């Protein structure tokens, strides 16, 4: 029996493959390499360079392997791009997920784990958000994730053998503590990645998008979760489904909020580099504060972040950035 990881050449997917291999699972990866890298697929997994919307490729994979579970990460993730190119996001994230779900169902897959997002909540307010908060996505990206959650909910309702688990990520950051994987996409908008790039000389400054929000220091507050902890939460979800757990969706965050200025100060402190920081206008669609209530993940999965403190997340992100620069200068 095998686990199929879509997007296994990408940031979170590659960490998931490491987690599965460490637990002696047989892992199959499908990735079209539109943002991922073939070198990022951990050795030991069977890799197919193909698109999840390619029915022929899916037929090949599902007939060549006895896939018991799918963990679905493949998709586009840049929120401002989704506002500019909504149909691309609905096409890649929603329509192709539908193709994948249909093939998984036809192949008798029993467990489907999905990479969802806090973006399904939109701007939930200043209190930690719980899973019962209504869907209110404010970008096509968030809406594309919400639609896939709804497809899974509805398919699970009429196919009792097919159960799904959606993990709504907050701000994922950091890198594998053993430095076997990290965030390598050249087009990241993520604050910790960008500040780590500034700390390692890849950019000359960091912009703070808005400092007049209703938060303690005026900059946006986010909940940062270490990518390795997140991969472990997915394994917990797989274990939960294998034990017969019902379909559900849970938040995955640390429960602590840090402002943009606090993150930048921590990156400077950890790296010892005092890079320039400048004020910039608010970025469209940014909510003042998004912090997870992760009680449900703790109760259902027994999950608690192991690398939850901000310094650890930043230390790993900076170290990965240095390794990536060394790899790129060799190439
Ligand atoms: N920010 C800056 N400067 C930068 C980059 C980011 O000030 O150069 C700020 C943003 O304005 C925001 C905060 O840092 O206030 C965090 O921004 P990120 O881009 O790191 O992350 P987001 O909170 O916008 O987005 C994350 C995920 C999305 C997901 C969303 C859900 O990246 O995939 O959380 O809330 F949809």
CATH of the domain at 323: 3.90.25.10
User: Residue 51 C-alpha to ligand 1 middle, in angstroms?
Assistant: 27
Q: How confident is the model at residue 33 (pLDDT cuts 50, 70, 90)?
A: very high
Give the mean model confidence (pLDDT) for residues 41-70.
Answer: 98
Give the mean model confidence (pLDDT) for residues 63-82.
Answer: 96
Residue with CA closest to ligand 1 atom 4: 191
The complex's ipTM works out to 0.96
Per the domain annotation, does 185 fall within a domain? no
Q: Which residue out of 78, 260, 282, 290 has the highest number of ligand 1 atoms within 8 Å of its CB and is therefore the one to mutate?
A: 260
Residues 201 and 167 in one domain: no
Q: What is the count of structural domains for the chain?
A: 2
Residue 129's φ and ψ, nearest 5 degrees, are -90, 135
Of 247, 239, 227, 222, nearest to 114 by C-alpha is 247
Q: How far apart are the first and last CA of the chain?
A: 37
Give the mean model confidence (pLDDT) for residues 283-308.
Answer: 93
Counting beta carbons within 10 angstroms of the beta carbon of residue 150, is it exposed (0 to 12), middle (13 to 18) or buried (19 or more)?
A: middle
User: Per-residue pLDDT for 285 more than 80?
Assistant: no
Residue with CA closest to ligand 1 atom 29: 119
In whole angstroms, give the CA distance from residue 13 to residue 181: 10
Q: What percent of the chain stands above pLDDT 70?
A: 100
Residue with CA closest to ligand 1 atom 25: 171
Per the domain annotation, does 317 fall within a domain? yes
Residues 210 and 116 in one domain: no
Per the domain annotation, does 26 fall within a domain? yes
Q: Which atom of ligand 1 is nearest to the CA of 139?
A: 36
**Catalytically annotated residue among 11, 121, 141, 169:** 141
CATH of the domain at 164: 3.40.50.720
Per the domain annotation, does 181 fall within a domain? no
Residue 197's φ and ψ, nearest 5 degrees, are -65, -40
User: Looking at residue 121, what is its pLDDT?
Assistant: 96
Residues 124 and 248 in one domain: yes
User: Per-residue pLDDT for 74 more than 90?
Assistant: yes
* Pocket (CB within 6 angstroms of ligand 1): 77, 79, 117-119, 141, 171, 189-191, 194, 206-209, 220, 222, 260, 283, 286, 290
Residues 153 and 294 in one domain: no
**DSSP assignment of 12-32, as one string?**
HHHHHHHHHHHTT-EEEEEE-
Tell me the per-residue pLDDT of 296-307, one tens digit each, with 9 for 90 and over: 999 999 999 999
Residue with CA closest to ligand 1 atom 31: 119
Residue with CA closest to ligand 1 atom 24: 286
User: Looking at residue 239, what is its pLDDT?
Assistant: 98
User: Per-residue pLDDT for 128 more than 90?
Assistant: yes
| Three-state DSSP string of 90-159 | HHHHHHHHHHHHHHHHHCCCCEEEEEEEHHHHCCCCCCCECCCCCCCCCCHHHHHHHHHHHHHHHHHHHC
User: Residue 209 C-alpha to ligand 1 middle, in angstroms?
Assistant: 9
Residues 210 and 236 in one domain: no
Residues 243 and 138 in one domain: yes
User: Residue 280 C-alpha to ligand 1 middle, in angstroms?
Assistant: 14
User: Per-residue pLDDT for 151 more than 90?
Assistant: yes
**Does the reported pTM lie above 0.90?**
yes
Per the domain annotation, does 178 fall within a domain? no
Tell me the per-residue pLDDT of 96-112, one tens digit each, with 9 for 90 and over: 999 999 999 999 999 99
Residue with CA closest to ligand 1 atom 18: 190
Q: Which residue out of 209, 216, 259, 287 has the highest number of ligand 1 atoms within 8 Å of its CB and is therefore the one to mutate?
A: 209
Residues 86 and 195 in one domain: no
User: Per-residue pLDDT for 55 more than 80?
Assistant: yes
Give the mean model confidence (pLDDT) for residues 178-189.
Answer: 90
User: Looking at residue 206, what is its pLDDT?
Assistant: 98
In whole angstroms, give the CA distance from residue 32 to residue 48: 8
Residues 122 and 24 in one domain: yes
Residues 61 and 102 in one domain: yes
Per the domain annotation, does 89 fall within a domain? yes
Residues 237 and 311 in one domain: no
- The answer to whether residue 240 is catalytic is no
User: Residue 172 C-alpha to ligand 1 middle, in angstroms?
Assistant: 10
Q: Would you tell me how many other CB atoms lie within 10 Å of the CB of residue 143? A: 22
Residues 164 and 55 in one domain: yes
Domain that holds residue 121: 2-173+224-252
Structure tokens given for 179: 């430095």
User: Looking at residue 16, what is its pLDDT?
Assistant: 98
Per the domain annotation, does 179 fall within a domain? no
User: Residue 191 C-alpha to ligand 1 middle, in angstroms?
Assistant: 6
């Amino acid at each position: 029996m095998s686990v199929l990881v879509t997007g296994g050449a990408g940031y979170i997917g590659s960490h998931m493959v490491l987690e599965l291999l460490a637990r002696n699972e047989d892992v199959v990866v499908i990735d079209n390499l539109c943002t991922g890298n073939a070198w990022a697929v951990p050795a030991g997994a069977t890799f197919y360079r193909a698109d999840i919307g390619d029915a022929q490729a899916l037929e090949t994979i599902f007939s060549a392997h006895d896939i018991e579970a799918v963990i679905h990460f493949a998709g586009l993730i840049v929120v401002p791009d989704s506002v500019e190119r909504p149909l691309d996001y609905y096409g890649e994230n929603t329509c192709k997920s539908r193709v994948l779900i249909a093939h998984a169902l036809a192949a008798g897959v029993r467990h489907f784990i999905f990479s969802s997002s806090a973006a399904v909540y939109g701007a939930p307010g200043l209190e930690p958000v719980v899973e019962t908060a209504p869907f209110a996505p404010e970008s096509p990206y968030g809406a594309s994730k919400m639609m896939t959650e709804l497809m899974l909910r509805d398919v699970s309702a009429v196919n009792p053998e097919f159960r799904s688990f959606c993990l709504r990520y907050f701000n994922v950051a950091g890198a594998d503590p053993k430095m076997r994987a990290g965030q390598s996409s050249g087009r990241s908008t993520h604050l910790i990645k960008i500040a780590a790039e500034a700390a390692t000389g890849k950019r000359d400054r960091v912009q703070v998008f808005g400092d007049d929000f209703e938060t303690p220091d005026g900059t946006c507050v986010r909940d940062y979760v270490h990518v390795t902890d997140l991969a472990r939460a997915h394994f917990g979800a797989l274990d939960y489904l294998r034990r017969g757990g019902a379909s559900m969706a849970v938040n995955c965050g640390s429960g602590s909020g840090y402002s943009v200025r606090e993150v930048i100060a921590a990156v400077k402190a950890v790296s010892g580099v005092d890079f320039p920081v400048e004020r910039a206008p608010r970025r469209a669609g940014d909510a003042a504060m998004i912090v997870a209530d992760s009680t449900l993940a703790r109760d259902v999965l027994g999950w608690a972040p192991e690398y939850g403190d901000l310094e650890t997340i930043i230390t790993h992100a900076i170290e990965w950035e240095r390794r990536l620069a060394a790899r790129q200068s060799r190439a």
